[in-house]
A and B are shown apart, each in its own frame.
Chain A
Amino acid sequence: MELLKIEGLTKRFAGLVAVNNVSLTLNKGEIVGLVGPNGAGKTTLFHSVCGFHKPEEGSVTYKGKELIGNKPEHICKEGIARTFQIVQPFGNLTVLENVIVGAFNRVKSYKEAERLALEKLDLIGISSFAYSRMKDLTFPYQKKVEVARALATSPEVLFLDEVMSGLNPSEVNEFIELIKHIRASGISIFFIEHLMSAVMALSDRLAVMHLGEKIADGDPQEVMKIPTVIEAYLGEEVS
């Protein structure tokens, strides 16, 4: 079942076309990876879908409903939660309080919000930092808190923007299991990642972006064999 459908999306910054006529779909229960070199427009695509940018052209429909023109908070209310590539913490609050803000998206009472937040911290495996201040945490851990915070909003779709950067190999493996677990709980996932081992392990489908355009979309193993994809990553063959 098609959950999220991006059609012909174009986002320009003055003269620069950051995202050029990109179409993508996310089906229910699917994990879709999005890769591409730096500056390919991956994060801009995320921002455009989540309401942080207003794209010039194209449409984004979620369960048949047009999302473009909505503010980020409305998109979150619809059921799409996200993390940020550059972490956006509530620095002076504790980790638990950070997640409680997310939990209040759906629940009204403090008790319920706290319970939901503790549950998500436990799921991500960071409940031992619940009462630490967010700004005292290291960068990878702040990213984990962002995942917990996004999950606390009780979404149906989760957008993850390079959550695994800075993690060590064993933590990456844990995270891969965690994302699988999140998907098993009924949440569809759309993620940007540079770490190819994680991308290959997780993606049901893989899309590749280069210079604002989508150059491939399909089975991860197949996609990585496409010459244009290899070229985008490694450059042209010499001689």
Chain B
Amino acid sequence: MKKSPILITLALVVFAIFPLVVKDQYYMHIAILILYYALVSQAWNILSGYSGQFSFGHAAFFGTGAYTSSILFTKLGMSPWIGLIIGAVIAAVIGLFIGYLSFRFKLRGVFFSLGTLAFAEILRIIIQNFDVFNKTLGVLIPYKPDPLMFQFSSRTTYYYIILIFAIAVTALVYYISRSKLGYNLVAIRENEDAAQSLGVNTYKNKMIAIAISASLTAIGGTFYAQYMLFIEPATTFSNDVSINILLPAIIGGAGTVLGPIVGSLIIIPIGELTTTWFGNFVGVNLMAYGVILILVMLYLPEGIVGWFQNKFGKKKSAKKNKDSSISGGEEVGTLKN
């Protein structure tokens, strides 16, 4: 119990001093990607990891964030900082709309996943066919470093911004996981009928989850646009984006606070390094992703963090059980252990 705060403080220190130690721009770029995927995957985790509503279309929210701030910036000169908030609000509204259609009519499991997938595709097609969004050309964001305009001359600043975002969202998820909302969401994931019988308003809780998840994903989208300075439908609204968002959480452990971060720490460096090392063979990084995903599904279906919690949680729970019982750890009621 006492170990985890120390480990977390240590990890925070490592993240905080990383740019001071590592000067290589390429490694900085990888570090930014790790944090940025941790952020969006954490957002996905709230809806899909905790409440179990498996979204296959988070690109819808991601693209909304990226496009809202970028269009407002290039067409109206509005600061992307404001665009970030507007994008988050619009994404939440879109999320609530998807939620209304899906949850009202009891779309569960794979049908909900397909619904979200279809929605992201619909948005992509809309973007590709309207002049306001530059159709398939995408939006090029003029490079004018100005902190007020969410543009910086140094990668280090981007690094610290995404670090703060990622920490804030993770802290939020930690807070949710110990709150009434978190328990309600997990109950919905585990058994909707039982949750309802205990007074959990499943519809309302799912709507809250999708709204939070959507708006945080949109914030990731705005960051992506301001960091890359170029967005197009293929890199913001496509299925690839949705998959990249959910992959770190699945591998690290969906429904755990640290899962998305651990997953991102593992998968992003592997993806980037394989691309660099095997540059001549396009798609090696995807092969690596595939292999990792298959291995995780086979051997650690609850993700890396989930597996750790199980493995070490069991010993701890046996001990805690003993402490809490008067008769001293009787084993009558359990099948395993």
- A residues sitting closer than 8 Å to B (CB atoms) are 50-52, 71-73, 76-77, 81-82, 84, 88-94, 97, 100-102, 104-105, 108, 110, 113, 118, 126-133, 136-138, 140-141, 149-150, 152-153
Are the C-beta atoms of A89 and B194 separated by less than 8 Å? yes
Q: Can you spell out 11 A-B residue pairs with CB atoms less than 8 angstroms apart?
A: A71-B196, A76-B196, A76-B199, A90-B191, A97-B186, A113-B183, A128-B321, A128-B324, A132-B333, A132-B337, A150-B197
- Name the interface residues of B47-79: CB closer than 8 Å to any CB of A: none
Pick from A50, A127, A152: contact of B324, CB under 8 Å: A127
* Residues 280-324 of chain B, each 1 if its beta carbon lies under 8 Å from chain A, else 0: 000000000000000000000000000000000000111011101
Are the C-beta atoms of A77 and B180 separated by less than 8 Å? no
Are the C-beta atoms of B316 and A131 separated by less than 8 Å? yes
A94 to B335, CA, bound (A): 14
Cβ distance B51 to chain A, nearest Cβ, rounded Å: 13
Are the C-beta atoms of B334 and A104 separated by less than 8 Å? no
Pick from B183, B191, B325, B336: contact of A89, CB under 8 Å: B191
Q: How large is the interface on B (under 10, 10 to 19, 20 to 34, 35 or more residues)?
A: 35 or more
Q: Does B25 contact A (CB under 8 A)?
A: no
Pick from A84, A131, A149: contact of B321, CB under 8 Å: A131
CB-CB under 8 A from B320, the residues of chain A are 130-131
CB-CB under 8 A from B183, the residues of chain A are 97, 100-101, 104, 113
With A89-B191, A129-B321 known, 20 other A-B pairs at CB within 8 A are: A71-B196, A73-B195, A76-B196, A84-B197, A88-B194, A93-B187, A101-B183, A101-B200, A102-B198, A105-B199, A110-B179, A127-B324, A128-B322, A128-B330, A130-B321, A132-B321, A136-B335, A140-B333, A150-B197, A152-B198
A6 to B200, CA, bound (A): 24
Interface majority SS (helix, strand, loop, mixed), chain A = mixed
Are the C-beta atoms of B334 and A138 separated by less than 8 Å? yes
Pick from A51, A94, A108, A110: contact of B317, CB under 8 Å: A94
A92 to B309, CA, bound (A): 12
CB-CB under 8 A from A97, the residues of chain B are 183, 186
A63 to B179, CA, bound (A): 32
Are the C-beta atoms of B199 and A77 separated by less than 8 Å? yes
